[in-house]
Amino acid sequence: MERASIRQLECLVAVAEHGSFRKAATSLGISQPALSAQVQGAEALFGVQVFERDRRAVLITPAGEEIIGRAREALTAVDSVGDAARRRGEPLVGPLRFGVIPTIAPYWLPALLPAVRAKYPRLELILREEQTHRLLAQLGAGQLDVAMLAIPIAGDFTTAEIAREAFVVAAPRGAGIVRKRHKLAASDLDEETVLLLEDGHCLRDQALSVCERGGAVEAVELRATSLPTLVQMVAGGMGVTLLPEAAAAALVQPRGPIEVATFANPVPGRTIGLAWRTSSARLREFRVLGETLKGSADRFLEKLRH
Protein backbone atom coordinates (compact mmCIF):
# COMPACT_ATOMS: atom_id res chain seq x y z
CA MET A 1 0.00 0.00 0.00
CA GLU A 2 1.27 3.41 -0.92
CA ARG A 3 2.19 5.55 2.10
CA ALA A 4 1.63 9.23 2.69
CA SER A 5 4.73 11.40 2.40
CA ILE A 6 6.08 13.52 5.21
CA ARG A 7 5.23 16.60 3.13
CA GLN A 8 1.61 15.49 2.82
CA LEU A 9 1.39 15.04 6.59
CA GLU A 10 2.97 18.47 7.16
CA CYS A 11 0.38 20.04 4.86
CA LEU A 12 -2.53 18.34 6.62
CA VAL A 13 -1.32 19.45 10.05
CA ALA A 14 -0.62 23.01 8.85
CA VAL A 15 -4.15 23.41 7.44
CA ALA A 16 -5.64 22.03 10.66
CA GLU A 17 -3.52 24.37 12.79
CA HIS A 18 -4.18 27.53 10.78
CA GLY A 19 -7.75 26.83 9.65
CA SER A 20 -6.84 28.26 6.25
CA PHE A 21 -5.14 26.91 3.13
CA ARG A 22 -3.60 30.32 2.44
CA LYS A 23 -2.10 30.72 5.92
CA ALA A 24 -0.94 27.11 5.96
CA ALA A 25 0.84 27.55 2.62
CA THR A 26 2.56 30.70 3.90
CA SER A 27 3.72 28.93 7.07
CA LEU A 28 5.28 26.14 4.99
CA GLY A 29 6.81 28.44 2.42
CA ILE A 30 4.95 26.93 -0.54
CA SER A 31 2.23 28.13 -2.92
CA GLN A 32 -1.43 27.55 -2.11
CA PRO A 33 -1.99 25.38 -5.24
CA ALA A 34 0.96 23.20 -4.23
CA LEU A 35 -0.44 22.77 -0.72
CA SER A 36 -3.92 21.97 -2.09
CA ALA A 37 -2.41 19.32 -4.35
CA GLN A 38 -0.63 17.71 -1.38
CA VAL A 39 -3.86 17.67 0.69
CA GLN A 40 -5.90 16.26 -2.19
CA GLY A 41 -3.27 13.59 -2.79
CA ALA A 42 -3.40 12.58 0.86
CA GLU A 43 -7.21 12.45 0.85
CA ALA A 44 -7.18 10.29 -2.30
CA LEU A 45 -4.60 8.00 -0.70
CA PHE A 46 -6.61 7.61 2.52
CA GLY A 47 -9.93 7.36 0.70
CA VAL A 48 -11.59 9.87 3.06
CA GLN A 49 -12.22 13.60 3.09
CA VAL A 50 -10.10 15.29 5.76
CA PHE A 51 -11.40 18.85 5.36
CA GLU A 52 -14.71 20.50 4.50
CA ARG A 53 -14.05 23.60 2.42
CA ASP A 54 -16.11 26.70 1.70
CA ARG A 55 -15.32 30.37 1.13
CA ARG A 56 -15.46 31.28 4.80
CA ALA A 57 -13.87 28.43 6.72
CA VAL A 58 -12.02 25.13 6.63
CA LEU A 59 -13.49 22.48 8.93
CA ILE A 60 -11.99 19.14 9.92
CA THR A 61 -14.26 16.15 9.27
CA PRO A 62 -14.77 13.49 11.96
CA ALA A 63 -12.53 11.11 10.03
CA GLY A 64 -10.06 13.94 9.54
CA GLU A 65 -9.74 14.51 13.30
CA GLU A 66 -8.18 11.07 13.79
CA ILE A 67 -5.98 11.42 10.71
CA ILE A 68 -4.66 14.81 11.88
CA GLY A 69 -3.90 13.38 15.31
CA ARG A 70 -2.00 10.47 13.78
CA ALA A 71 -0.18 12.83 11.41
CA ARG A 72 1.05 14.90 14.35
CA GLU A 73 2.30 11.76 16.09
CA ALA A 74 4.09 10.64 12.94
CA LEU A 75 5.80 14.02 12.44
CA THR A 76 6.94 14.02 16.07
CA ALA A 77 8.41 10.55 15.55
CA VAL A 78 10.21 11.71 12.40
CA ASP A 79 11.66 14.66 14.32
CA SER A 80 12.92 12.30 17.01
CA VAL A 81 15.06 10.50 14.41
CA GLY A 82 16.94 13.73 13.72
CA ASP A 83 17.06 14.47 17.43
CA ALA A 84 18.74 11.14 18.10
CA ALA A 85 21.33 11.78 15.40
CA ARG A 86 22.10 15.24 16.81
CA ARG A 87 22.58 13.81 20.30
CA ARG A 88 25.40 11.67 18.96
CA GLY A 89 27.23 14.70 17.62
CA GLU A 90 27.56 18.37 18.37
CA PRO A 91 24.80 19.73 20.65
CA LEU A 92 22.34 22.41 19.53
CA VAL A 93 22.91 22.11 15.81
CA GLY A 94 20.24 22.66 13.16
CA PRO A 95 16.64 23.92 13.46
CA LEU A 96 15.15 24.62 16.88
CA ARG A 97 11.50 25.67 17.03
CA PHE A 98 11.48 28.15 19.89
CA GLY A 99 8.21 29.57 21.27
CA VAL A 100 8.02 32.66 23.47
CA ILE A 101 5.18 34.67 25.01
CA PRO A 102 4.58 38.30 23.90
CA THR A 103 5.36 39.84 27.30
CA ILE A 104 8.84 38.28 27.20
CA ALA A 105 9.90 38.24 23.53
CA PRO A 106 10.73 41.93 22.77
CA TYR A 107 12.19 42.70 26.20
CA TRP A 108 14.34 39.65 26.91
CA LEU A 109 15.35 38.04 23.61
CA PRO A 110 17.62 40.91 22.42
CA ALA A 111 19.63 40.48 25.63
CA LEU A 112 19.68 36.67 25.68
CA LEU A 113 20.03 35.45 22.11
CA PRO A 114 23.45 36.96 21.19
CA ALA A 115 25.17 34.64 23.69
CA VAL A 116 23.27 31.65 22.29
CA ARG A 117 24.28 32.55 18.73
CA ALA A 118 27.90 33.04 19.76
CA LYS A 119 28.12 29.74 21.63
CA TYR A 120 26.11 27.67 19.13
CA PRO A 121 26.68 29.22 15.69
CA ARG A 122 25.15 26.22 13.87
CA LEU A 123 21.86 26.48 15.76
CA GLU A 124 18.97 27.75 13.61
CA LEU A 125 16.35 29.36 15.84
CA ILE A 126 12.82 29.43 14.44
CA LEU A 127 10.93 31.85 16.70
CA ARG A 128 7.19 31.79 17.26
CA GLU A 129 5.43 34.31 19.52
CA GLU A 130 2.14 33.14 21.05
CA GLN A 131 0.17 33.33 24.28
CA THR A 132 0.90 30.67 26.88
CA HIS A 133 -2.01 28.31 26.20
CA ARG A 134 -1.18 28.19 22.47
CA LEU A 135 2.52 27.60 23.13
CA LEU A 136 1.76 24.70 25.45
CA ALA A 137 -0.64 23.15 22.94
CA GLN A 138 1.98 23.42 20.18
CA LEU A 139 4.74 22.16 22.47
CA GLY A 140 2.66 19.15 23.47
CA ALA A 141 1.77 18.40 19.84
CA GLY A 142 5.42 18.44 18.77
CA GLN A 143 5.07 21.64 16.74
CA LEU A 144 7.58 23.40 19.02
CA ASP A 145 10.77 22.08 20.60
CA VAL A 146 11.05 24.49 23.53
CA ALA A 147 9.15 27.48 24.91
CA MET A 148 10.20 30.44 27.02
CA LEU A 149 7.38 31.52 29.31
CA ALA A 150 6.34 32.12 32.91
CA ILE A 151 6.56 29.00 35.08
CA PRO A 152 5.29 26.85 36.75
CA ILE A 153 3.07 25.33 34.07
CA ALA A 154 0.73 22.34 33.95
CA GLY A 155 1.32 19.29 31.79
CA ASP A 156 3.99 16.70 31.06
CA PHE A 157 6.76 19.25 30.59
CA THR A 158 10.20 19.72 32.12
CA THR A 159 11.24 23.27 32.98
CA ALA A 160 14.45 25.11 33.83
CA GLU A 161 14.41 28.48 35.59
CA ILE A 162 16.03 31.31 33.65
CA ALA A 163 15.25 34.40 35.75
CA ARG A 164 13.10 35.82 38.51
CA GLU A 165 11.65 39.10 37.23
CA ALA A 166 10.19 41.71 39.59
CA PHE A 167 7.02 43.71 39.00
CA VAL A 168 7.01 47.51 39.31
CA VAL A 169 4.15 50.00 39.48
CA ALA A 170 3.81 52.44 36.57
CA ALA A 171 1.66 55.52 37.15
CA PRO A 172 1.12 58.98 35.63
CA ARG A 173 3.89 61.35 36.66
CA GLY A 174 3.08 62.99 39.97
CA ALA A 175 0.44 60.43 41.00
CA GLY A 176 0.17 59.83 44.72
CA ILE A 177 1.30 56.21 44.63
CA VAL A 178 4.66 57.04 43.03
CA ARG A 179 5.28 60.03 45.33
CA LYS A 180 5.48 57.84 48.43
CA ARG A 181 8.94 57.96 50.00
CA HIS A 182 9.09 54.28 50.82
CA LYS A 183 9.09 51.19 48.65
CA LEU A 184 5.57 50.01 48.02
CA ALA A 185 3.62 47.20 49.60
CA ALA A 186 0.69 45.52 47.88
CA SER A 187 -1.60 47.43 50.25
CA ASP A 188 -0.47 50.72 48.67
CA LEU A 189 -2.57 49.71 45.66
CA ASP A 190 -5.71 49.94 47.79
CA GLU A 191 -8.52 51.59 45.79
CA GLU A 192 -6.20 52.40 42.87
CA THR A 193 -7.68 51.89 39.39
CA VAL A 194 -5.41 49.30 37.82
CA LEU A 195 -5.13 48.63 34.09
CA LEU A 196 -4.37 45.08 32.98
CA LEU A 197 -3.91 43.06 29.80
CA GLU A 198 -6.87 41.30 28.20
CA ASP A 199 -7.75 37.66 28.92
CA GLY A 200 -5.34 35.06 27.57
CA HIS A 201 -2.12 36.67 28.82
CA CYS A 202 -0.62 34.84 31.80
CA LEU A 203 0.85 38.17 32.97
CA ARG A 204 -2.70 39.40 33.51
CA ASP A 205 -3.39 36.62 36.02
CA GLN A 206 -0.10 37.21 37.84
CA ALA A 207 -0.66 40.97 38.10
CA LEU A 208 -4.30 40.51 39.07
CA SER A 209 -3.26 38.33 42.01
CA VAL A 210 -1.06 41.15 43.36
CA CYS A 211 -3.80 43.72 42.84
CA GLU A 212 -6.41 41.64 44.63
CA ARG A 213 -4.13 41.26 47.65
CA GLY A 214 -3.70 45.02 47.74
CA GLY A 215 -7.37 45.90 47.36
CA ALA A 216 -6.97 47.53 43.93
CA VAL A 217 -9.89 47.92 41.55
CA GLU A 218 -9.44 46.68 37.97
CA ALA A 219 -10.68 48.92 35.18
CA VAL A 220 -12.63 46.06 33.57
CA GLU A 221 -13.84 48.20 30.67
CA LEU A 222 -10.25 49.10 29.72
CA ARG A 223 -8.06 46.12 28.87
CA ALA A 224 -4.98 46.33 26.67
CA THR A 225 -3.81 43.91 24.00
CA SER A 226 -0.10 44.52 24.65
CA LEU A 227 2.29 46.10 27.15
CA PRO A 228 3.04 49.14 24.90
CA THR A 229 -0.72 49.83 24.72
CA LEU A 230 -0.96 49.45 28.48
CA VAL A 231 1.79 52.04 28.95
CA GLN A 232 0.03 54.48 26.61
CA MET A 233 -3.17 54.11 28.62
CA VAL A 234 -1.27 54.93 31.83
CA ALA A 235 0.34 57.94 30.12
CA GLY A 236 -3.18 59.11 29.22
CA GLY A 237 -4.12 59.20 32.90
CA MET A 238 -6.50 56.24 32.79
CA GLY A 239 -4.97 54.47 35.80
CA VAL A 240 -1.87 52.66 37.02
CA THR A 241 -0.48 49.26 36.08
CA LEU A 242 2.04 46.60 37.01
CA LEU A 243 4.89 45.99 34.57
CA PRO A 244 7.68 43.40 34.52
CA GLU A 245 10.93 45.25 35.17
CA ALA A 246 12.48 44.48 31.75
CA ALA A 247 9.41 45.84 29.96
CA ALA A 248 9.38 48.92 32.22
CA ALA A 249 13.02 49.66 31.36
CA ALA A 250 12.22 49.47 27.65
CA LEU A 251 8.86 51.27 27.60
CA VAL A 252 9.06 54.00 30.28
CA GLN A 253 11.09 57.09 29.37
CA PRO A 254 13.17 58.62 32.23
CA ARG A 255 11.54 62.07 32.00
CA GLY A 256 8.33 61.07 30.24
CA PRO A 257 4.71 61.16 31.39
CA ILE A 258 5.06 57.99 33.49
CA GLU A 259 6.88 57.29 36.76
CA VAL A 260 7.84 53.90 38.17
CA ALA A 261 7.87 52.76 41.80
CA THR A 262 9.33 49.53 43.17
CA PHE A 263 8.00 47.12 45.80
CA ALA A 264 9.49 46.26 49.17
CA ASN A 265 10.30 42.65 50.02
CA PRO A 266 8.76 40.23 49.33
CA VAL A 267 8.79 41.72 45.84
CA PRO A 268 5.99 40.38 43.62
CA GLY A 269 7.05 39.10 40.22
CA ARG A 270 7.22 36.11 37.94
CA THR A 271 9.63 33.31 37.19
CA ILE A 272 10.73 33.02 33.57
CA GLY A 273 11.71 29.55 32.44
CA LEU A 274 12.41 27.28 29.52
CA ALA A 275 10.02 24.36 28.97
CA TRP A 276 10.14 21.24 26.82
CA ARG A 277 8.37 17.89 26.56
CA THR A 278 9.59 15.47 29.22
CA SER A 279 9.58 12.76 26.54
CA SER A 280 11.89 14.73 24.23
CA ALA A 281 15.04 13.01 23.03
CA ARG A 282 16.97 16.27 23.46
CA LEU A 283 16.73 16.70 27.24
CA ARG A 284 20.46 17.23 27.76
CA GLU A 285 20.64 19.80 24.94
CA PHE A 286 17.74 21.79 26.35
CA ARG A 287 19.27 21.84 29.82
CA VAL A 288 22.48 23.23 28.30
CA LEU A 289 20.44 25.84 26.43
CA GLY A 290 18.68 26.79 29.67
CA GLU A 291 22.03 27.26 31.42
CA THR A 292 23.26 29.53 28.63
CA LEU A 293 20.07 31.60 28.77
CA LYS A 294 20.27 31.84 32.56
CA GLY A 295 23.84 33.16 32.43
CA SER A 296 22.78 35.89 29.99
CA ALA A 297 19.69 36.66 32.08
CA ASP A 298 21.76 37.11 35.26
CA ARG A 299 24.00 39.62 33.48
CA PHE A 300 21.01 41.41 31.96
CA LEU A 301 19.22 41.82 35.31
CA GLU A 302 22.40 42.97 37.06
CA LYS A 303 22.85 45.70 34.45
CA LEU A 304 19.16 46.58 34.53
CA ARG A 305 19.10 47.05 38.31
CA HIS A 306 22.21 49.26 38.60
Half-sphere exposure of 175 (CA within 13 A, CB side): 25
* 234 φ/ψ angles, rounded to the nearest 5 degrees: -65, -45
> Please, what's the largest Cα pairwise distance for the chain?
77
Q: How far apart are CA 223 and CA 10, in angstroms?
A: 37
Model pTM? 0.72
Name all domains of the chain by residue range, CATH numbers in brackets: 6-84 (1.10.10.10), 92-306 (3.40.190.290)
Specify the length of the chain in residues: 306
β-pairing verdict for 258-261 and 157-172: antiparallel
pLDDT tens digit sequence for 253-297: 888 999 999 999 999 999 999 999 998 888 889 999 999 999 999
Cis? peptide before 110, omega within 30° of 0: no
Per-residue burial over 259-272, b = 16 or more CB atoms within 10 Å of its CB, e = otherwise: bbbebeeeebbbeb
82, 90 Cβ separation under 8 angstroms: no
Given pLDDT bands bounded at 50, 70 and 90, which one contains residue 224?
Answer: confident
Of the listed ranges 8-12, 53-57, 128-132, 301-305, the one predicted with least confidence: 53-57
Q: For position 86, what pLDDT does the model report?
A: 58
Q: How far apart are CA 229 and CA 64, in angstroms?
A: 40
pLDDT tens digit sequence for 125-169: 999 999 999 999 999 988 899 999 999 999 999 999 999 999 999
